[in-house]
Amino acid sequence: MIDSAKEIYLQGRRIVTVDGTDYGKLHDFIFDDKSGELLKFVTTDGIIEDILRGRNVIPVIGKVEFGEDTIMIANEASQEISRKGGIG
C-alpha cells in the first residue's frame, strides 16, 4: 500500500538562525538553474519594510532544518546576508 503524499508549503515560514535570530518570513528561493541546488532564501518583513529596506537574501550555508513553522539556518549564514531592493 502506498501512503498518500503530504503537501508541504514553505512560503511564510520564519527563517531563524540556530541562536534564534529571526530574519523574517520566507518569500522565495533562488536555485542554481543547472544543478537545481538551493542557493539562497529570500525573506520578507512585510510590504512596508520591503519597500523601505528591501528583502533579505540569505545564502544556504551548512545544515538547514525544516520545522513545522520555521526554517532553521546556520549562524554563519547571517554573516553573508544581503538586501535586495528597497528605497533606503
Tell me the pTM: 0.79
Listed in sequence order, the residues at least 6 apart from 41 whose beta carbon sits closer than 8 Å to its beta carbon are: 15, 26, 28, 29, 30, 56, 57, 58, 60, 71, 73
Domain ranges across the chain: 10-28+37-62
Q: Quick one: cell of 8?
A: 508541504
Q: What is the pLDDT of residue 28?
A: 93
pLDDT digits (tens, 9 = 90+) for 60-69: 988 899 988 9
Inter-residue contact 45 to 61 (CB < 8 Å): no
pLDDT digits (tens, 9 = 90+) for 16-62: 999 999 999 999 999 999 999 999 999 998 899 888 888 989 999 88
